[in-house]
């Protein structure tokens, strides 16, 4: 019988940025509960524990014991952003990234780094990455949220997008280096041919969109996470990731949450049975 390993990461608190979120820790806890119910051994990093160093180490740790045929799931909820490309593999001059708790002091974790970490898995290990964050273009795209509020209470919680503007954590010199971003985080190799994937990636939105941090039934969650877990609970036991994705896309985008989730991976990966 194959083994199942998982890592869930949720970051609400971003010191020094004035851009804290509300639903990411709940996301990580909800994914942990869903995965544990399906037989996964789950490790978790929340808020201050989710530094860049800790995230890199935890990814190595969750992948290391997996053997051919085993399943590894890595989930991340928090801010996404982009940074200057360091190795020249990006036509647009930027690398997409996730933002750890200490992004202001120690920087982001780039898509190049994530791809290398994921590629260290043993051949035959199935790796699924679930990302509920923004990896969209430039600060100019950070328009006001115009869709209706999540609730009608007098002090209704404010929805936010899970995108941290690079100006919040990069130097002026780094900012002037950057153009526009065009890819999602770390599913395929920056320099590899189309179809070469280190993991199957389920992403909360398209490259030019936002993932929303919102409130559901009086509790904060990512819109993508809420919908993904709602549909997961109703899936047929033999459903594939392609089937699950179709169920998610039947609910997102919506009027309130104009984000279109995406599924990145080979045709064979899409046919994998969900968490099986």
* Catalytic entry in 24, 97, 99, 134: 134
> From the centroid of its chain, how far is CA 263?
12
Among this protein's residues, is 97 annotated catalytic? no
Instruction: Work out whether strand 109-110 and strand 160-161 pair parallel, antiparallel, or are unpaired.
Output: unpaired
Placement of tokens 């968490």 in the chain:
275
Q: How many other CB atoms are found less than 10 A from the CB of residue 66?
A: 20
| Cis before 195 (ω within 30) | no
* Catalytic entry in 24, 79, 97, 197: 79
Strands (DSSP E) contained in 54-149 are 71-77, 80-84, 94-98, 109-110, 126-132
Distances (CA, A) of 84 to 88, 135, 146: 9, 14, 30
Helices marked H in the chain — which ranges?
Answer: 24-37, 52-63, 103-106, 111-119, 172-175, 223-232, 241-249, 267-270
Among this protein's residues, is 79 annotated catalytic? yes
Give me Rg for the CA atoms of the chain.
18
Catalytic annotation, residues? 79, 134
């Amino acid at each position: 019988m194959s083994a199942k390993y998982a890592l869930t990461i949720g970051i609400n608190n971003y010191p020094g940025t004035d851009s804290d979120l509300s639903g990411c820790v709940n996301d990580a806890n909800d994914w942990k509960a869903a995965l544990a119910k399906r037989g996964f051994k789950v490790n978790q990093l929340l808020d201050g524990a989710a530094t860049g160093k800790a995230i890199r180490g935890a990814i190595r740790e969750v992948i290391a014991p997996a053997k051919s045929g085993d399943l590894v799931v890595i989930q991340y909820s928090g801010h996404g952003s982009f940074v200057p490309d360091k190795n020249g593999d990006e036509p647009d001059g930027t690398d997409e990234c996730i933002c750890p708790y200490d992004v202001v002091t120690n920087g982001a974790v780039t898509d190049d780094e994530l791809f290398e970490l994921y590629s260290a898995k043993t051949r035959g290990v199935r790796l699924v990455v679930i990302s509920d964050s923004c990896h969209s273009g430039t600060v100019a795209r950070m328009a006001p949220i115009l869709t209706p509020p999540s609730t009608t209470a007098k002090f209704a919680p404010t929805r936010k997008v899970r995108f941290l503007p690079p100006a919040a954590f990069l130097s002026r010199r780094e900012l002037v280096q950057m153009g526009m971003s065009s890819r999602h985080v770390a599913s395929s190799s920056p320099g590899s041919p189309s179809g070469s994937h280190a993991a199957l990636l389920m992403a909360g939105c398209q490259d030019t969109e936002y993932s929303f941090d919102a409130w559901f039934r009086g509790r904060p969650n990512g819109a993508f996470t809420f919908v993904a877990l709602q549909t997961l609970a109703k899936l047929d036991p033999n459903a594939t990731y392609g089937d699950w994705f179709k169920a998610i896309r039947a609910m997102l985008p919506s009027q309130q949450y104009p984000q279109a989730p995406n599924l990145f991976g080979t045709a064979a990966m899409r046919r994998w049975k969900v968490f099986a």
